[in-house]
């Protein structure tokens, strides 16, 4: 991103841009944007260019549903999430991500109960067509704190790989499966985790888990707009490497995942009223730290449509090398 975009008084853009956090290689913070500003094509283009460059944008703006939906549309067409159980009543463009003491997914993480906790993952990676991104907005924040959302940059993660490891994973694919129980995750598990209960909506969704086919996604792809390589792996939902099963493949994928979730490359957003956060789902992983089991957290999220056209259903992956069984 050019310096001129970071100086709106020069370009005439009606917002300011700053770093998400000092010393962080990705992310930006935008302030001063209004709903009316989104009518301007130069504003929309500048926001899109910033997103491609930085991957995650923290907006301080009008925190209304209208603003969330209109702002999301600057980055692509919106789609309804594949799980109807999660739609917001009266506004199906929004997904309700919530935890209530009486209804919400609850885990024990290292022996501590955490409501709405989520490990590192990409959204919808268990489909062959991954959504481009989304904007998250708080509706009700926990009184006791917590409930932060973490982000890690997969472009920076790829850059951190040793050259020999980059060569080993080029052309390989990861197999993914739809299983919402993070206790079953095989990779990126650095803590003890136990599912205590599913939210009612998740119970309904996971009852269909065997109806979804396994899918494949490349371990590395190039960002279309810039050509930068992206380390394309979601620790949650990953089953293994398609071309290299067994212990060798598992060891290789665990080594790669270690670079994906390096805490030195992570940003955790501590939510406040008036925040909205956009992320590029093709380029970043995210997680949720969870809340106390007697607290409440409600977030609305959009789903920005897109298809990088590299995912495949396993039963339709005829262009990949066949494996004798």
Each residue's pLDDT tens digit, 214-223? 999 999 999 9
Residue 183 belongs to domain spanning: 8-316
Q: What are phi and psi of 81, to 5 degrees?
A: -60, 150
**pLDDT (average), residues 167-192:** 95
Please state, in angstroms and rounded to a whole number, the distance separating the CA atoms of residues 118 and 105: 9
**Would you state the structure tokens that stand for residue 36, as one six-digit string?**
């009316």
pLDDT digits (tens, 9 = 90+) for 84-132: 666 566 667 788 889 999 999 999 999 999 999 999 999 999 999 999 9
Answer yes or no: is 142 within a domain: yes
Into how many domains does the chain fold?
1
Percent of the chain with pLDDT over 70: 90
Answer yes or no: is 198 within a domain: yes
Please state, in angstroms and rounded to a whole number, the distance separating the CA atoms of residues 84 and 312: 23
Answer yes or no: is 108 within a domain: yes
Answer yes or no: is 321 within a domain: no
Answer yes or no: is 15 within a domain: yes
Q: What is the pLDDT of residue 90?
A: 64
Q: Which of 13-22, 79-88, 119-128, 144-153 has the lowest mean pLDDT?
A: 79-88
- Is a pLDDT exceeding 50 seen at residue 292? yes
Answer yes or no: is 248 within a domain: yes
Answer yes or no: is 322 within a domain: no
Residue with tokens 């955790």: 268
Please state, in angstroms and rounded to a whole number, the distance separating the CA atoms of residues 53 and 306: 18
CB 128 within 8 A of CB 215: yes
The end-to-end CA distance of the chain, in Å, is: 49
Q: Coil, strand or helix: which one is 101? A: coil
User: How would you classify the pairing of strands 173-176 and 297-302?
Assistant: unpaired
Please name every residue paired with 140 in a beta bridge, in sequence order, or none if there are none.
298
- Is a pLDDT exceeding 80 seen at residue 5? no
CB 58 within 8 A of CB 29: yes
Answer yes or no: is 324 within a domain: no
Give the distance from CA 89 to its chain's centroid.
23
- Is a pLDDT exceeding 60 seen at residue 1? no
Closest by CA position to 45, among listed 99, 82, 2: 2
**CATH code for the domain in which residue 205 is found:** 3.60.130.10
**Would you state the structure tokens that stand for residue 98, as one six-digit string?**
């919530």
CB 230 within 8 A of CB 132: no
């Amino acid at each position: 991103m050019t310096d001129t975009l970071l100086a709106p008084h020069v370009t005439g853009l009606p917002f300011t841009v700053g770093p998400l956090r000092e010393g962080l290689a990705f992310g930006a913070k935008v302030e001063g944007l209004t709903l009316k500003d989104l009518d301007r094509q130069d504003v929309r283009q500048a926001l899109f260019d910033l997103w491609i460059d930085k991957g995650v944008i923290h907006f301080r703006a009008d925190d209304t549903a209208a603003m969330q939906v209109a702002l999301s549309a600057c980055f692509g067409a919106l789609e309804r999430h594949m799980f109807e159980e999660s739609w917001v009543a009266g506004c199906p463009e929004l997904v309700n991500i919530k935890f209530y003491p009486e209804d919400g997914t609850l885990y024990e993480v290292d022996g501590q109960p955490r409501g709405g906790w989520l490990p590192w993952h990409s959204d919808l990676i268990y489909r062959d067509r991954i959504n481009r991104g989304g904007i998250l907005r708080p509706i009700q924040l926990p009184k006791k704190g917590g409930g932060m959302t973490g982000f890690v940059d997969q472009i920076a993660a790829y850059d951190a790989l040793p050259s020999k490891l980059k060569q080993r994973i080029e052309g390989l694919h990861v197999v993914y499966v739809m299983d919402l129980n993070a206790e079953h995750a095989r990779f990126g598990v650095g803590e003890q985790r136990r599912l205590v209960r599913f939210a009612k909506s998740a119970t309904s969704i996971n009852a269909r888990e065997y109806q979804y086919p396994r899918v494949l996604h490349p371990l590395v792809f190039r960002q279309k707009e810039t050509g930068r390589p992206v380390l394309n792996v979601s620790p949650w939902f990953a089953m293994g490497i398609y071309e290299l099963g067994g212990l060798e493949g598992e060891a290789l994928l665990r080594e790669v995942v270690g670079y994906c979730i390096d805490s030195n490359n992570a940003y955790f957003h501590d939510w406040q009223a008036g925040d909205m956060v956009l992320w590029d789902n093709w380029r970043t992983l995210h997680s949720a730290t969870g809340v106390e089991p007697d607290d409440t957290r409600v977030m609305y999220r959009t789903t920005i449509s897109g298809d990088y056209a590299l995912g495949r259903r396993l039963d339709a992956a005829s262009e990949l090398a066949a494996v004798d069984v």
